């Protein structure tokens, strides 16, 4: 078995303490004294015997740069060689020298903030580099080598980090802190997302079939349809005739329709009042609300509300990228999710009430018309021509007038009222005055006064004209009265009121009543989230000065000036992204509290934030900003920063070095005799993070690609002479 490139690397320093080999796992990097490693052989045996350990690499460091005479003495642990998954790297000097194997002269190494040994350990803590070095060194004699290196680091300068820290925390915790280039906050989209979190089923039947409210609505619709049918039968020229006669019940049908609409409106108003009182917490039982036939609220499940709240907060905190800006919007929408009652809907329903005044009656007096004087003139003309017709002709027109009087009587008698038809007793007077009097009166007056006059043909024409005028008057008068009556009844408006009331009740039940239990729990969940976010904001504001490092460790005197590069915006984005992910991780007590119906206290959130901030600060100190912390979720901003940093570095030159190139060899100049003759057998390990790929250095071959890291380059592993081993 060889060391695996995906196992985490555990660093152990046997120079300062002991090791519990049974608790070790993965790849183990051991720092040891070069002359005392053999004394710790039992530890190495225990590590190699542990099945959880995939590889062991001993970094044997010579104390104080080795012996003054230049003699190299190494006592490697016997159990480390020859073993396929174990190796030893000897370090003669922690800073090293600049050495090219083909040249006898060496150069001193410029002193850096991190020693050569420290940089080597940083490189070996990457699992892929660890596995590649173990594999390369295990092929050399005694599985031991001296390390040389050309490394390129993209570590951010203290000044760059602290400037980004101040701006990122200010943006994240202060709603008044502006940021250049920041996008407008998606407040409208957030409000829509909160309101749609508890969805409403538009296809659900919220009224129980056959229950009181549903039955009242069905009766009202049926009664309105029957009323429309009855009015259609009445509104016709031939309605007074026996075959087209409207049923006597047309009046009661109309009255029943108005009563049915009123009944539904009363029941709907009663139902909305009950729902309003229940939503306002006025102790109206849900069984009372359901008594009229309304489905009860959908049960609220804590786990479902937890998941919905979590998805909402995680998505929109990532889009706001500021807990200070998200908090007021979250609190405002939380209040909107709490049950508010339906007083506005009740007021709107009151405006849809059907008219309370009695139904208008059909006008019994026909509409004013020129027919009456024309009929009187026609009767007079008919009287002038009757002398030539004899006695029979003299009585012809009166008989005809009596016939049309009977028709008018029937017409008036069949006018609908609330209890049936008007009847003959009421209609006889009106029929006589309107139909009989003009024609018969005109004829009688001329017949008695004039006695004789015009030709018989004119009398016949006048008689026919009187008949036609009377018939036209009957039909037109009837339809005109009916249509005016229908406009006064306004059954179309009544139908609209019924539809509006039914729709309003449906909307209140569907949008307010049915999801009320879930919305109440959702609002409580958002309240707990608000407590957690407030704790995060306060703790971050308190720790703003020492998030990335402790202030007492810096006095402003840094050995190097920050490099001249424009990556401030990218660094800020990475820090803000980490703060977003840290906040999401710090809300774990909140989700547990929602699920268990046990709200987490602010102190619990504050402790979780403090723990995560301490871990984040330690992660930055150990791995730098390019390596994502354990709680990181989003990698795009970090990849963008890494690409900018590596594109501005000399990583391409570092990866193209061969075994003859000048490198920093981690030994003293007087120790070169132990390895110079073996330089041609050196093994090379080139490594770089995946973000280097496709950049300015292209995609070089023979490179071990690592994860996100701040270090890349080439390691030269030179075997040692046999005589140095003891």
Distances, alpha carbon 322 to alpha carbons 109, 534, 580, in Å: 45, 12, 8
**What is the predicted pLDDT for the residue at 393?**
45
Give yes or no for a contact between 168 and 576, defined as CB atoms under 8 angstroms apart.
Answer: yes
| Torsion of the alpha carbons at 671, 675, 680 and 683, rounded to the nearest 10 | -100
End-of-domain residue from the set 644, 659, 693? 644
Claim to verify: residue 74 and residue 116 sit in the same structural domain? yes
Determine if the peptide bond prior to 73 is cis (ω within 30°): no
Instruction: Give per-residue pLDDT as tens, 366-412.
Output: 555 555 666 666 666 666 655 544 344 445 555 555 554 555 455 55
Confidence label for 202 from pLDDT (cuts 50, 70 and 90): confident
Do the domain assignments include residue 84? yes
Do the domain assignments include residue 535? yes
Claim to verify: residue 218 and residue 272 sit in the same structural domain? yes
**What is the predicted pLDDT for the residue at 61?**
93
Do the domain assignments include residue 207? no
Do the domain assignments include residue 206? no
Q: 553 has which bridge partners?
A: none
**What is the predicted pLDDT for the residue at 498?**
92
**What is the predicted pLDDT for the residue at 335?**
85
pLDDT at 593 over 60: yes
Instruction: Give per-residue pLDDT as tens, 543-591.
Output: 777 766 543 344 444 445 667 777 888 888 899 999 999 999 999 999 9
Confidence label for 462 from pLDDT (cuts 50, 70 and 90): low
Other C-beta atoms closer than 10 Å to the C-beta of 511 total 18
End-of-domain residue from the set 592, 612, 644? 644
Give yes or no for a contact between 665 and 90, defined as CB atoms under 8 angstroms apart.
Answer: no
Instruction: Give per-residue pLDDT as tens, 210-262.
Output: 788 888 999 999 998 988 877 776 666 555 554 444 444 577 788 888 889 99
C-alpha–C-alpha distance, residues 135 and 128, integer Å = 11
Question: Each residue of 320-352: b (16+ CB within 10 Å) or e?
Answer: bbbbbbbbebbbebbeebebebbeebbeebeeb
Claim to verify: residue 398 and residue 413 sit in the same structural domain? yes
Give yes or no for a contact between 717 and 133, defined as CB atoms under 8 angstroms apart.
Answer: yes
Other C-beta atoms closer than 10 Å to the C-beta of 487 total 11
Claim to verify: residue 168 and residue 105 sit in the same structural domain? no
Which region, left, alpha or beta, applies to residue 506 given φ > 0 means left and ψ of -120 to 50 means alpha? Answer: alpha
DSSP state of 708: S
Do the domain assignments include residue 343? yes
**What is the predicted pLDDT for the residue at 88?**
92
Claim to verify: residue 279 and residue 354 sit in the same structural domain? yes
3-state SS of 405-430? HHHHHHHHHCCEECCEECCHHHHHHH
Claim to verify: residue 315 and residue 339 sit in the same structural domain? yes
Claim to verify: residue 621 and residue 656 sit in the same structural domain? no
Instruction: Give per-residue pLDDT as tens, 7-54.
Output: 789 999 998 877 888 888 889 999 999 888 888 999 999 999 999 999
- In the chain, what percentage of residues exceed pLDDT 90? 22
End-of-domain residue from the set 644, 677, 692? 644
Please state which of the ranges 171-175, 303-307, 324-328 shows the lowest mean pLDDT. 171-175
Pairing type for strands 703-706 and 53-61 reads unpaired
**What is the predicted pLDDT for the residue at 361?**
66
C-alpha–C-alpha distance, residues 496 and 492, integer Å = 6
pLDDT at 263 over 90: yes
Claim to verify: residue 149 and residue 42 sit in the same structural domain? yes
Do the domain assignments include residue 256? yes
Claim to verify: residue 163 and residue 117 sit in the same structural domain? no
Which residue in this structure is represented by tokens 């490697």?
76
Do the domain assignments include residue 364? no
Do the domain assignments include residue 670? yes
Claim to verify: residue 216 and residue 354 sit in the same structural domain? yes
Would you tell me the crossing angle of helices 212-234 and 250-279 to the nearest 10 degrees?
Answer: 150
Which residue in this structure is represented by tokens 């029929």?
431
Report how many domains make up the chain: 4
Which region, left, alpha or beta, applies to residue 70 given φ > 0 means left and ψ of -120 to 50 means alpha? Answer: left
Give yes or no for a contact between 700 and 651, defined as CB atoms under 8 angstroms apart.
Answer: no
Instruction: Give per-residue pLDDT as tens, 106-147.
Output: 898 887 778 889 999 989 999 999 999 999 998 888 888 999
C-alpha–C-alpha distance, residues 502 and 484, integer Å = 29
pLDDT at 180 over 50: no
* Segment (H or E) for 688: strand 683-689
pLDDT at 271 over 90: no
Q: How much is the average pLDDT of 316-344?
A: 87
Claim to verify: residue 620 and residue 672 sit in the same structural domain? no
Claim to verify: residue 45 and residue 145 sit in the same structural domain? yes
Joined together, the tokens standing for residue 499 give 């539809």
C-alpha–C-alpha distance, residues 213 and 266, integer Å = 10
Tell me the backbone φ, ψ of residue 295, rounded to 5 degrees. -65, 145
pLDDT winner (highest mean) among 85-94, 402-411, 487-496: 85-94
Tell me the backbone φ, ψ of residue 146, rounded to 5 degrees. -95, 140
Q: Which domain holds residue 178?
A: 159-197+519-644
Q: Which residues contact 702 (CB under 8 A, 6 or more apart)?
A: 684, 686
- In the chain, what percentage of residues exceed pLDDT 70? 73
Query: Is 0.75 topped by the overall pTM?
Result: no
Please give the radius of gyration of the chain, using alpha carbons only, rounded to the nearest integer. 50
**What is the predicted pLDDT for the residue at 432?**
62
Which residue in this structure is represented by tokens 């174990």?
86
Other C-beta atoms closer than 10 Å to the C-beta of 675 total 25
Confidence label for 455 from pLDDT (cuts 50, 70 and 90): low
**What is the predicted pLDDT for the residue at 30?**
93
Joined together, the tokens standing for residue 678 give 């073996």
């Amino acid at each position: 078995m060889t060391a695996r490139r995906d196992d985490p690397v555990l660093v152990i320093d046997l120079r300062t303490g002991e090791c519990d080999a049974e608790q070790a796992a993965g790849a183990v990097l051991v720092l040891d004294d070069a002359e005392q490693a053999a004394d710790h052989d039992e530890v190495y045996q225990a590590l190699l015997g542990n099945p959880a350990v995939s590889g062991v690499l001993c970094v044997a460091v010579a104390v104080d740069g080795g012996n003054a005479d230049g003699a190299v003495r190494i006592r490697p642990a016997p159990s480390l060689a020859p073993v396929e998954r174990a190796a030893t790297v000897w370090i003669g000097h922690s800073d090293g020298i600049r050495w090219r194997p083909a040249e006898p002269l060496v150069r001193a190494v410029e002193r850096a903030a991190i020693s050569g040994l420290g940089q080597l350990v940083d490189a070996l803590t990457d699992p892929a580099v660890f596995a590649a070095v173990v594999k390369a060194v295990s092929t050399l004699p005694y599985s031991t080598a001296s390390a040389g290196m050309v490394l390129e680091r993209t570590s951010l300068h203290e000044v760059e980090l602290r400037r980004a820290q101040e701006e990122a925390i200010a943006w994240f915790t202060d709603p008044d802190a502006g940021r250049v280039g920041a996008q407008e906050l998606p407040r409208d989209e957030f409000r829509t997302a909160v309101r749609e979190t508890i969805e409403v089923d538009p296809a659900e039947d919220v009224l129980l079939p056959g229950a009181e409210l549903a039955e009242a609505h069905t009766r009202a619709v049926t009664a309105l349809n029957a009323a429309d049918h009855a009015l259609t039968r009445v509104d016709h020229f031939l309605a007074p005739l026996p075959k087209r006669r409207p049923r006597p019940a047309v009046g009661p049908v109309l009255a029943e329709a108005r009563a049915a609409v009123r009944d539904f409106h009363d029941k709907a108003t009663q139902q909305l009042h009950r729902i309003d009182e229940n939503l306002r917490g006025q102790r109206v039982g849900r069984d009372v609300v359901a008594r009229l036939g309304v489905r009860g609220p959908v049960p609220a499940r804590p786990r479902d509300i937890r998941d919905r709240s979590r998805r909402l907060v995680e998505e929109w905190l990532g889009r706001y990228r500021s807990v200070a800006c998200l908090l007021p919007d979250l609190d405002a929408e939380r209040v909107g999710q709490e049950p508010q009652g339906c007083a506005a809907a009740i007021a709107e329903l009151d405006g849809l009430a059907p008219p309370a005044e009695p139904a208008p009656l059909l006008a019994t007096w026909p509409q004013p018309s020129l027919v009456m004087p024309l009929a009187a003139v026609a009767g007079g003309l008919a009287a002038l021509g009757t002398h030539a017709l004899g006695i029979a002709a003299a009585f012809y027109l009166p008989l005809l007038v009596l016939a049309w009087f009977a028709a008018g009587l029937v017409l008036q008698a069949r006018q609908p009222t609330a209890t049936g038809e008007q009847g003959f007793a009421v209609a006889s007077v009106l029929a006589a005055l309107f139909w009989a009097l003009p024609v018969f009166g005109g004829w009688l007056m001329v017949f008695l006064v004039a006695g004789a006059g015009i030709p018989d043909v004119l009398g016949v024409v006048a008689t026919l004209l009187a008949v036609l005028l009377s018939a036209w008057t009957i039909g037109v008068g009837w339809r005109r009265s009916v249509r005016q009556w229908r406009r006064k009844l306004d059954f179309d408006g009544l139908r609209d009121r019924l539809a509006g009331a039914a729709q309003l009740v449906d909307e209140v039940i569907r949008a307010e009543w049915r999801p009320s239990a879930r919305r109440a729990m959702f609002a409580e969940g958002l309240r707990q989230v608000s407590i957690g976010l407030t704790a995060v904001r306060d703790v971050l504001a308190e720790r703003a000065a020492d998030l990335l490092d402790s202030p007492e460790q810096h006095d402003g005197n840094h050995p190097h000036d920050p490099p001249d590069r424009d990556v401030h915006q990218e660094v800020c984005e990475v820090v803000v992204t980490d703060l977003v992910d840290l906040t999401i991780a710090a809300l774990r007590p909140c989700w547990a509290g929602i699920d268990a119906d046990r709200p987490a206290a602010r102190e619990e959130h504050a402790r979780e934030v403090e723990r995560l901030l301490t871990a984040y600060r330690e992660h930055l100190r150990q791995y730098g900003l390019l390596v994502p912390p354990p709680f990181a979720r989003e990698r795009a901003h970090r990849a963008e920063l890494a690409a900018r940093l590596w594109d501005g570095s000399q990583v391409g030159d570092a990866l193209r070095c061969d075994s003859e190139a000048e490198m920093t060899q981690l030994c003293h100049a007087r120790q070169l005799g132990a390895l110079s003759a073996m330089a041609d057998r050196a093994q090379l390990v080139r490594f770089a993070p995946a973000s280097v790929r496709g950049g300015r250095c292209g995609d070089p071959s023979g490179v071990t690609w690592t994860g996100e890291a701040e270090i890349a380059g080439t390691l030269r592993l030179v075997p040692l002479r046999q005589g140095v081993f003891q």
